[in-house]
Structure 1
Amino acid sequence: MQPSCYDVIIIGTGSGGGTLAQKLAPSGEKILLLERGGFIPKEKENWDVDEVVVKGRYRADETWYDKDGRPFKPFTHYVVGGNSKMYGAASFRLRESDFQEVHHQAGVSPAWPLSYTDFEPYYTQAERLFSVHGIRGIDPFEPPANAPYPFGSIPVEPFTEELYRNVQKTGLKPFPIPMAVRLAEDNPYWPDAPTILGNFDGFPDPTEAKADAHVTGVRAALQHPNVTLMTNAFVYRLGTDETGRRVTTVEVERSGQRETFRAGVVVLAAGAINSAALLLRSASDKHPHGLANSSGLVGRNYMTHLNGCLIAYTPDKLNTASFQKYFCIGDYYVPSAENPYPLGEIQLMGKNDPATVVGLSEQMFPGKAADWLCSHSIDFWLTTEDVPDPQNRVTLTPNGDIQLIYHRDRNNVPAFEQLKQKLKDLFCKLGDIDPALKTVHWAGYDLGISGVSHQCGTLRFGINPATSVLDINCKAHDLDNLFVADASFFPSSGAYNPSLTTAANALRVGDHLLQQVL
């Protein structure tokens, strides 16, 4: 039986693959979207904390291994829309400095082969596609933009607005988080019930207010008859022709059966970890160390940010916000006289669930009910840049399972600890402005090696084939028809969520394919 043939096969439907699919769909080219998982059903469990957080209802049922060979369950999702179904919708542009060489206490982040200017028009397109809400000109380190945000900042609740104003009084310059949300009230020609944002960070959104890659990308692509979506399709190997220069087969396992597809162009968008793993699994006589791996860099320089939650418990202050994810503090993002190295950024995050809050605060407030603890806590998400290190890598075990070798302890941890102290110092100042914030107790957590939601860097792009896997158009140096459209291409991570940059780059790659390849 002859393999089915397509003009383009896109592997993965997340922020890169879903965005690219809607970009290419109007071309009329025959496109196949391959998604390892299925659709997340719209069900009451979407917002059930026990089901989503504790039981991991929508997480991948898969075991990976750490650098010491210990098994762990990754916080990743094989579903239509990828990890964007569960993201918090924060949609930042990287700063101009992120595209340049940046010195950290822990090492150096290399310059990108392209500048911010090359990405700016695609950032604008991505913001429109994802209905990003925000305000230009407030962030002191915001890069230049040729257009305003498509929509103003999301509505702010009284508690959060008061906190925002008080942070401003300390001399810092907080700014509304640019959020990818589709609110009914944004469309004056389609009056509808107002959109009330609820569980967001780490939850699927049955209202589809969250502008994820499924809602904005895949769905739009499937309006075109030339686009086919195949779900529950695990791509286990890519094969090449006898020269080793072209991918000729995409080998898929679905419902226990194996199928083979062909395409003129193959685009990897399975996520930085799985895209690298697929190339390593595709080793052959022509590519003995893995497909596209003549540089030896496939899977290396894995980055995922130094992320963590820091919770301020305020026994004298009632937090009345139901959706507190409103502002970001970016004042420590670049070096200054006070901080010779970049520290990162601080955001308000969605409210933590009662089980998490109780677990963290039992010693400070024994006997207090979960509802009381939640209503007296303010939840922050802190992010510090993960400096690339070739020893931090994706590889395979002898059985072919994913092994994530990650040395967090020797990474940019001092900067992350300094950032946490900055937040604590800020509350000392806030206590002088609002006496109800004089007494604050702190607790925090991070996801450890399981937290892979900001994964990037395993297939970095560049000009020199000896020091990069992809060229500046995100085509593999070693192959003529293999492209990448996920965050694998990042040479450095910056300290902001990579989703908008991933989508912007997918649009850029899409332009190249339409103008030069297809």
Structure 2
Amino acid sequence: MQKHYDIIIIGTGAGGGTLAYALASTGKRILLLERGDYIPREKQNWDMKAVYGNALYRTDQRWLNSQEKSFQPTLYHRVGGSTKVYGAALLRMRQEDFEEMQHYEGVSPAWDLKYEDFEPYYNQAEKLYKVHGKRGEDPCEPPTVKEYDYPALPHEPRIKQVVQSLEILGLKPFSIPMGIDRDVNNAAQSPCIRCDTCDGYPCLVDAKADAQVCCVDKAIKYENVTLMTNAHVERLVTNNSGTEIRGVEATVAGVKEFFNGDIVVVACGAINSAALLLRSASDSHPNGLANSSGMVGRNFVKHNTTKLYAISTVPNETVFQKTLAINDFYFGSSEDTKPLGHIHLMGKHKWEMMQPDFPRWVPSSLLKVFANHSVDWWMQSEDLPNVENRVEIAKNGQIKVYYRQNNRKAHQRLQHQFKKILRKAGFPIIFSVPMPLKVMNHQGGTCRFGKDSKLNVLDLNCRTHDIDNLYVVDSGFFPSMGAMNPTLTIVANALRVAEHLKQRLNVSLDGLVSKTK
């Protein structure tokens, strides 16, 4: 087994998987270490009870909250990371999200890079992840001159009715940008079949634009790229002076291994990446690697999120529901001078999926009526960075998450405003279900990037300020997260960092290779 690599990437999700793809053609020896394995292609991929009820593919990790209570986070240690089961909504952050913004309960800080620095990589990311959308519909869309490469997904009849009702009431609903492999003009030959088991499920036909399908599978076709699954990285080891990473300690299929890397990239997800740095403390880094600022694990953000079931007398026979979004309240409303957040449709919920969101005494017969008449929404608002919202390692070695919600007024106002609209649109019954701590779909902020090494873990290239050959390329780099789904920004940033690494490695475009296995 080869032990020395030019680049070691830990994690194969939106950050690590995309980075591996972008660097694969350089000819550099790249090792991808993935804690889990591939999700098998099997009928259970689309089995609601297995996926939702039994959490079949979810991580077996148990974390602690600030009250020392154990919980199972909604994360997936698989090739492709949590993108294997994500909802595939791929939206750009707003141009204003990169600037300082005043909220009801505090300030969202400015980024040291701006939207214009990310815009070229957003273009690349949308093409790579097959994003379907339509420019000009989103009322607060950030500037770009590039059209989507793939047209927006059409709405089904009931959702068309909802669009018309919302437009009559003054809203500007738009087609949500979705990353799926769907030929809207040739459905018979399309990989995506617009099923009702997309949002929250793995795709049995590999038609979801996840990091495995879009990036990892393509990267490992190159002879210079090696993927090791079931490889749990436990520690990063520095040289005696602590100035560079010498290697990676991992357990691979139950066997202890040590790999040397000239460059090491951590891309385990915001919380697990911070935990790995903290666990790698040494004499030269007693508080954890790259932690001279004391900021590793701090400023954790995850969005304030709520499910909303809007129920009317009109049956909802929609199969593929997630085609619509609303940004009319993103920067406020006629009654609100501060940002409120973003809203989009979820995948259509069956009554069994709704059951955990209702009291046990609610009979299944009533839940079936609700499910057959409900239009299902997801609402999210920005939570603000706070150094006390953090990740630590407990004495027993478990990850411990300290998190207190903030900026809740904005989220409450978002719900209030949208519920008023929905009732006017013919939805007299509305149930809202706030998401608990264990829902980690949108984690970020634990290894922030920025120019000031006293306040940030990473520099603007996502290299740690303290250690020259150590990078973090996942959602941990976010200084703030706005109210948009973070995945497209993670992908765009990985493509940006890949360009920097090519320059560092003295790889020219002429030097790229195409030799595959």
Distance 1:278 1:229 in 2: 20
Q: How does 1:105-120 map to 2 (within 5 A)?
A: 105-120=104-119
Aligned to 1:295: 293
Question: What's the C-alpha RMSD, in Å, of the aligned pairs?
Answer: 1.8
1:476 matches 2:474: no
- Which of 387, 392, 397 lines up with 2:394 in the alignment? 397
Q: C-alpha deviations, 1:271-324, integer Å up to 9, x for none? A: 00000000000000110100000000000000110111010122x111121111
**Against the structure 1 CA distance between its residues 40 and 194, is the aligned structure 2 distance closer, same or farther, given a 3 Å change threshold?**
closer
Q: C-alpha deviations, 1:359-392, integer Å up to 9, x for none? A: 5467997563544331111100000001111000
| Equivalent position amino acid for 1:413 in 2 | R
| Equivalent position amino acid for 2:45 in 1 | N
Distance 1:322 1:106 in 2: 39
Q: How does 1:84-483 map to 2 (within 5 A)?
A: 84-185=83-184, 191=189, 195-314=193-312, 316-358=313-355, 360=357, 368=365, 370-408=367-405, 411-431=406-426, 437=427, 440-483=428-471
Taking structure 2 as the reference length, the TM-score comes to 0.95
CA contact (8 A) 2:99 2:109 kept: yes
Aligned to 1:503: 491
Taking structure 1 as the reference length, the TM-score comes to 0.94
Distance 1:198 1:63 in 2: 30
Note the C-alpha offset of 1:473: 0.5
Aligned to 1:434: none
Q: Percent identity between the aligned chains? A: 46
Higher deviation after alignment, 164-173 or 196-205: 196-205
| Equivalent position amino acid for 2:443 in 1 | Q
Note the C-alpha offset of 1:36: 0.2
**Against the structure 1 CA distance between its residues 359 and 230, is the aligned structure 2 distance closer, same or farther, given a 3 Å change threshold?**
closer
Note the C-alpha offset of 1:400: 1.4
**Against the structure 1 CA distance between its residues 138 and 486, is the aligned structure 2 distance closer, same or farther, given a 3 Å change threshold?**
same
Distance 1:199 1:322 in 2: 9
Stretches of structure 1 that go unaligned for 5 or more consecutive residues are: 432-436
| Equivalent position amino acid for 1:278 in 2 | L
Aligned to 2:479: 491
Distance 1:80 1:32 in 2: 14
**Against the structure 1 CA distance between its residues 367 and 459, is the aligned structure 2 distance closer, same or farther, given a 3 Å change threshold?**
closer
DSSP-derived class of the 1:126 partner:
helix
CA contact (8 A) 1:3 1:262 kept: no
CA contact (8 A) 2:291 2:457 kept: yes
**Against the structure 1 CA distance between its residues 446 and 353, is the aligned structure 2 distance closer, same or farther, given a 3 Å change threshold?**
farther
DSSP-derived class of the 1:32 partner:
strand
Note the C-alpha offset of 1:153: 0.5
Distance 1:68 1:176 in 2: 41
Runs (4+) off by over 6 Å: 362-365
DSSP-derived class of the 1:450 partner:
coil
Distance 2:360 2:204 in 1: 36
Distance 2:492 2:256 in 1: 34
CA contact (8 A) 2:191 2:206 kept: no
Distance 2:347 2:274 in 1: 31
Higher deviation after alignment, 444-453 or 74-83: 444-453
Distance 2:107 2:401 in 1: 22
DSSP-derived class of the 2:425 partner:
helix
| Equivalent position amino acid for 1:68 in 2 | Q
| Equivalent position amino acid for 2:148 in 1 | Y
| Equivalent position amino acid for 2:440 in 1 | V
DSSP-derived class of the 1:112 partner:
coil
Aligned to 1:16: 15
**Against the structure 1 CA distance between its residues 240 and 186, is the aligned structure 2 distance closer, same or farther, given a 3 Å change threshold?**
farther
CA contact (8 A) 1:23 1:507 kept: yes
Distance 2:328 2:169 in 1: 12
DSSP-derived class of the 2:437 partner:
helix
**Against the structure 1 CA distance between its residues 362 and 473, is the aligned structure 2 distance closer, same or farther, given a 3 Å change threshold?**
closer
How many residues get paired? 506
Distance 1:103 1:241 in 2: 44
**Against the structure 1 CA distance between its residues 192 and 338, is the aligned structure 2 distance closer, same or farther, given a 3 Å change threshold?**
closer
Note the C-alpha offset of 1:231: 0.2
Q: C-alpha deviations, 1:125-158, integer Å up to 9, x for none? A: 0000000000101111100112101111012211
Higher deviation after alignment, 299-308 or 254-263: 254-263
Higher deviation after alignment, 361-370 or 38-47: 361-370
